[in-house]
Structure 1
Amino acid sequence: MGDKLFDTDWRTIRVQRREAIVEVALSRAEARNALNGELMEELTDAAALLRLRTDVRAVILTGADSYFSAGADLSASQARTALPLIESRRAVMAGPDMCRAWREIEAVTIAAIEGYCIGGGAALALSCDFRVMGEGAYLRLPEVPLGMNMSWRSIPGIVALVGPSRAKQFVMFGEAVDAARCLDWGFADEAVAAGEAFTAARRWAEKVAVLPPIPVRMTKEAVNAVAGATAQASIYMDRDQFLLATSTQDYREGVAAFREKRPGRFTGG
């Protein structure tokens, strides 16, 4: 009987195993690992296959040597404007479903980040248990300056990691938060020399792999339950807020300003 996780001919990710550690790499180099529908679907499917495996102790999620992910494609957001609302509401769940699938993996998950990790890529990395960042790596959320809210049900997790004030800074301003500041704030668990994030993540995974697996999984489940106790109640409307935000003139202006490399002129309309 085959093993679907390793036997599947994945198109946008690479999956390999080293004893009790599984490594999943985003592999859409032609688009700088931008999260299109296919990549999000494969990441979700891989997470679902990993979720309850008892033979896996740790999972490393990584990107390329010089970038993690450029985030979600703006073109996908704009294409949804032509869909009926009920179809748009379904379509915008791909990102949140992917992040939830990664949060629900019972094994410990570690994101190894080099270079830029933007938007939905940052939301994905923040869905893991730990993050290791190479020097020069950064997290950035460009959504608000583009006229969108930050959705993907990620704000409760951001607040749990860094607190309300820093969460507001991170989400509102759309500014890059480098590895050193991520370590200081609580987004990163280790900052290492450039090019060493994956090696360091493997050390974390090996440290986990020798621990008794049952109490490790119990601890992860308990901590996540406490940290996210009110998450669903506080963020269940964020996809509708996203659809509202992307229907505004400010959103159209934000995207135009980004493409034309100029400051946006926002009116609240």
Structure 2
Amino acid sequence: MANFVTIERGLGPGGRVAVVRFDRGDRINALSDDATRELTRAAQCFEDDAETSVVILTGGKSFSAGADMKAGGARSSTSTDVAALRRQFRKGPRLTRAWYEMDQVTIAAIEGFCIGSGLALAVALDFRIMARDAHIRIPEIALGMNMSWQTIPRMLQLIGPARTKQAVILANQSISAEEAYQWGLVEQLTEPGETFNAAMELAEKVAAQPSIPVAMTKQTINRLAGALDDLASHMDLDQLTLTCLTEDHKEGVAAFRDKRKPQFKGR
């Protein structure tokens, strides 16, 4: 069985800080099905943890390259079984929802790159700290699919409609760390290799506060900011299922694997 995620508790003031490390031991750190399940369980394991008030999520050399395209799976499948695709695609929203709904304050430490569903995970957290030489990219549309995992509503909360359209529609356009900071997509920049230390410094400040009102405040803000998000969650899943059945999606994936420019036909 894969073991891509490790958890360390009892850090910081009063032992109230925990660190979740997602590291596949390579530079890619892709979100395979196994990694997605492990990260979901990692978030869920804090549900009854009254001792931890802050959780830092960090990657290896890079935060994450997003979906594991080399592993195949439903996204690159030629299957027309809509029910099977919808079941497969629930794994991603389940992951981001688990992190979004945690009582603990969550902090992403982003090194290297944060791509596609890696960004979906990052924006489900409360704070993002990014290295100055890192970048963000959202390639989903270039692959003939929509951006899902409830990412768009969360990006709207952070950077507004125009910037969200720019980031998602202009697929494959890299967003530098400086741009991400100016847009409000990340809250802090650091020198390369220093994101974890900065995340720990922020975590210690949060952990020094009384945990009950901190958790209440987080949940109140999330509920108010995302009051309409659940209404669109089924649409998010169905759009992903629909776009993954198109010829353009098959062409996008084929072009990615062949390292060529895709030729989309709008069907």
TM-score range, shorter chain: over 0.9
Contact 1:80 1:88 in 2 (8 A): no
Computed over aligned residues only, the root mean square deviation of the Cα atoms, in angstroms, reads 1.6
TM-score, L = length of structure 1: 0.92
Unaligned 5+ segments in structure 1 are 1-8
| Aligned residue in 1 for 2:258 | 260
Task: Verify the 8 A CA contact 1:111 1:132 in the aligned structure 2.
Answer: yes
Moved more, 76-85 or 211-220: 76-85
Matched, 1:70 2:65: yes
Q: Match of 1:69, SS?
A: coil
Find 2:21's aligned residue among 21, 25, 42: 25
The correspondence for 2:53, drawn from 36, 44, 57, is 57
Alpha-carbon distance between aligned partners in 2 of 1:15 and 1:100, rounded to the nearest angstrom: 19
Offset at residue 234 of structure 1 (A) = 2.6
Determine helix, strand or coil for the equivalent of 2:103. coil
- The share of aligned pairs that are identical, in percent, is 43
For 1:29, what is the secondary structure of its paired residue? coil
- Alpha-carbon distance between aligned partners in 1 of 2:144 and 2:80, rounded to the nearest angstrom: 20
Specify the alignment match of 2:37 in structure 1: 41
Shift of 1:10: 7.3
CA distance in 1, matches of 2:169, 2:257: 20
Kept in 1: contact 2:115–2:137 (CA 8 A): yes
Partner of 2:3: 11
TM-score normalised by L of structure 2: 0.93
**Distance (whole Å) between structure 2 residues aligned to residue 41 and residue 261 of structure 1:** 29
How many residue pairs get aligned? The number is: 260
**Aligned counterpart for 1:95 among listed residues 92, 96, 118:** 92
Aligned to 1:6: none
Q: Distance in 1 between matches of 2:149 and 2:73?
A: 15
2:82 to 81, 85, 89: 85
Residue 215 of structure 1 deviates from its aligned partner by 1.2
Unaligned 5+ residue runs, structure 2? none
Cα distance between partner residues in 1 of 2:44 and 2:37: 11
